[in-house]
A and B are shown apart, each in its own frame.
Chain A
Amino acid sequence: MTALQQGTTEVVDPVPGAGAPHLPDQPDLVQLLTPEGERVEHPDYAIDVSDEELRGLYRDLALVRRWDAEATALQRQGELGIWASLLGQEAAQVGAGRALAEGDMAFPTYREHGVAWTRGVDPLHVMSLFRGVDQGGWDPVARSFNLYTVVIGAQTLHATGYAMGLQRDGAENAALAFLGDGATSQGEVNEAMIWAATFAAPVVFFCQNNQYAISVPIERQSRVPLYQRAAGFGFPGVRVDGNDVLAVLAVTRAALAAAREGSGPTFIEAFTYRMGAHTTSDDPTRYRLAGELEEWKLRDPIARLKAHLSRSGIADADFFAAVDAEGDELAARIRQGTLEMPDPAGTEMFDHVFAEQTPELAQQRAEFVEYHASFDTAGSDTASSEGN
């Protein structure tokens, strides 16, 4: 058995809708760092990371969490329309993001701020989307990070098609599709997996099982552990501790390498937990118990890496203080950048509908400008910014 061929059958509680998400024994869970921060080995996933890299991963995790906290605060202060928090999922995202090589392409949903970070996307572009200024201002090609996709599951097909393109072009790269546990129920996701398997496309499906689709627990989406589904499509599935950045890095690296080498897709289930609300408009107290949250706090992805780094002397108090300071700077930059974002001119909505402007839209745009110019002051902002 290779590292990617796992497949014992774990039986789940057969009572429909039974219980709150639990932390069952996870015989198949790949873990390299215990919740206490103990480094452990896994027979299939050895990983060689330098101290430098380990500190880098910690920095990623801490900064992404700081960004998330600032965004949540900004939303509460009315500066963002909504925010989809990644709290608790930092390791899954940073681990997966850092596994990508140059030329690999990531296909996120709407919560992958941590992956965006690893791809060098300016956080302010992500902020502008949630502020309602644009649909995410980064260049998906330059950053090898696609725009966010809100319609659940749609991006898994895009990733598969992209991978087929890589394959045809003989490019030695892979696509990494992000999805949630809820998304696995969508027909399109199943189609993506069928395509990927049939064409042995170099795509990796990275599912963050954060236990909930808004209020609906994983038991309502699947009666078997998600990673076991892969077998039915004809490719390997792996369950990794999503709160263990090292394990996620190792498993995703292996899967991407296999894809690049022509072995086809892998389904990775990163077993994790959404510590916050689904988005800032959600009220999780309606559907989950505080006890559950407390239990998961003990598996915090950042605390465990921090414990490991301090215990093994890879990082000292000065290092952590420096990262904290960097976090404060980042947060300040995000705050100020968000507050200073200019509102877009209304004319922008006409400008990129097509690559080639249509006469109808040009006319609607002209009428729009004329209409706003007809107000003395009220509409002048929109009209005057029209020239840019």
Chain B
Amino acid sequence: MQTLTIGKALNLGLRKAMEDDGKVVLMGEDIGKLGGVFRITDGLQKDFGEARVVDTPLAEAGILGTAVGLAMRGYRPVCEIQFDGFVFPAYNQIVTQVAKIHARSRGKLPMPIVIRIPFGGGIGAVEHHSESPEAYFAHTAGLKVVAVSTPADAYWGIQQAIAAPDPVVFLEPKRRYWEKGEVDPDGSPDPLFGSRVVRGGDDVTVLAYGPMVKTALQAADAAAEEGRSLEVVDLRTLSPLDLDPVYESVRRTGRCVVVHEAPVTLGLGAEIAARVTERCFHSLEAPVLRVGGYDTPYPPSKMEEDYLPDLDRVLDAVDRSMGF
């Protein structure tokens, strides 16, 4: 058992994946000598060389487009997008090519590409450095999307994503990179594409992923002091969604609150609310509520506390749910 930050766990996970499979190639801006702007690839170029840890030219379409060709040659490209807001120059390649080639080739051309994106806000950055673009990708057939929230999931998840035969958009909660947790490199991981109940409770089911899992857990702690018991589910995977544990939970609690940073309108929460309503209609005591960002561009950092869901906003939704 080791205590690691999410950032370090990713670094070790990448290292392990590269040791296990000589076809794994990391590509991205500043990932070599610098080790990436978040140092996630720190030391990897030194140990694996410039051919396997490639500092690319400053061109995201180039990173993803060449990854497609490399994948066709049997490589497993792991592309780092420096910040969420800079994935869009590559969006065309991801959505029109990476996502569709397997289907278009009727399975003859697998696309085992991982697209690592540090996502979400809360770090006081300037614009385009705090976006939550997950819905764009989850809405695109042919892409799998995961969001990790713990060092253990980061360590195992990155290896599983790299080993997966399909393209995986791998969302890393950048404001949690420095948070610590236990990782057991000898243990066996949960499946990559599945959700997990991370705290049991009876009154309200709270769903979250990525950076908001911690916020949901903090809300559960605060609620507990007032005698309210929240069940917290870490969705972990946004496409495909694994909602069976959620249905089970909601049938027990009768209440459900979905939390994410992305704008609420047409966000993941909308899809989840619809599905939970369809499947648990008779058990629901209240409508499924959503807590998320407003339908505004991510604001300048002095306003981000107003924008981002915090534990108070989660608790407020819990109150409203209980009030029905």
Please give the residue numbers on chain A whose beta carbons come within 8 Å of chain B beta carbons, in ascending order.
Answer: 17, 81-82, 110, 129-135, 150-153, 182-183, 185-188, 213-216, 220-221, 281-283, 286-287, 343-344, 346, 348-350, 353, 360-361, 364, 368, 371, 375, 382
Contacts and interface: CB of A to CB of B under 8 A. Distances in A.
A350 B88 CA distance: 24
A282 B316 CA distance: 39
A132 B301 CA distance: 5
Contacts of A375: 312
A152 B21 CA distance: 33
Contacts of A216: 29-30, 32, 55, 57-58
B294 interface: yes
B72 interface: no
Contact of A382 (B296, B297, B306): B306
Given A151-B88, A186-B58, A349-B307, A81 B299 contact: no
A268 to B, nearest CB: 19
Residue from the set A131, A153, A188, A214 with the largest chain B CB neighbour count within 10 Å = A214
B57 A221 contact: yes
B306 A346 contact: yes
Residue of B50, B58, B127, B301 most packed against chain A (CB within 10 A) = B58
Given A135-B127, A368-B294, A213 B29 contact: yes
Contacts of A185: 57-59, 62
Interface stretch (B9-17, B33-41, B191-199): B33-41
Contact of B33 (A135, A286, A346): A286
Interface string B172-184: 0000000000000
14 contacts: A134-B300, A151-B88, A151-B128, A213-B29, A220-B55, A220-B57, A221-B57, A221-B58, A287-B33, A346-B307, A348-B303, A360-B265, A371-B313, A382-B306
B288 to A, nearest CB: 18
A152 B50 CA distance: 24
Contacts of B89: 151, 153, 186-188
B224 interface: no
Contacts, number: 119
Nearest to B92: A187
State the 4 A-B residue pairs at the shortest beta-carbon distance, nearest first.
Answer: A132-B301, A346-B306, A215-B34, A185-B57
Contacts of A82: 125-126
B34 A187 contact: no
Contacts of A186: 58-59, 61, 89
B124 interface: yes
Nearest to A152: B58
B303 A151 contact: no
Contact of A151 (B33, B86, B316): B86
Contacts of B127: 135, 150
Bin chain B's interface residue count: 35 or more
Residue in B59, B124, B301 whose Cβ sees the most chain A Cβ within 10 Å: B59
B295 A353 contact: yes
Nearest to A351: B296
A384 to B, nearest CB: 14
Interface string B29-67: 110111101000000000000100001111101100000
Interface string B283-321: 000000000001111011111101100001100100000
A134 B126 CA distance: 9
Given A187-B59, A214-B29, A350 B294 contact: yes
Contacts of A282: 37
A17 to B, nearest CB: 7
Given A82-B126, A214-B34, A286-B33, A183 B301 contact: no
Given A151-B85, A216-B30, A349 B58 contact: no
A382 B58 CA distance: 40
Contacts of A129: 126, 300
Nearest to B294: A364
Given A132-B126, A220-B57, A346-B306, A214 B299 contact: no
B30 A344 contact: no
Contacts of A131: 302
B126 A130 contact: yes
A213 B296 contact: no
Contacts of A368: 294, 306
Contacts of A135: 127, 300
Interface hub of B32, B33, B56, B127 (most chain A Cβ within 10 A): B127
A380 B308 CA distance: 18
B67 to A, nearest CB: 15
Contacts of B50: 17
A81 B35 contact: no
B287 to A, nearest CB: 16
Contacts of B85: 150-151
B303 A346 contact: yes
Contact of B301 (A81, A213, A371, A382): A81
A100 B296 CA distance: 35
Given A130-B126, A346-B303, A353 B296 contact: yes
B62 A187 contact: yes
Contacts of B300: 129, 132-135, 344
Nearest to A180: B58
A188 B35 CA distance: 26
A137 B294 CA distance: 22
A386 to B, nearest CB: 12
B45 to A, nearest CB: 11
B37 A214 contact: yes
B30 A215 contact: yes
Given A215-B30, A216-B58, A353-B295, A152 B302 contact: no
Nearest to B313: A371
A45 to B, nearest CB: 30
Contacts of B34: 214-215, 283, 286-287
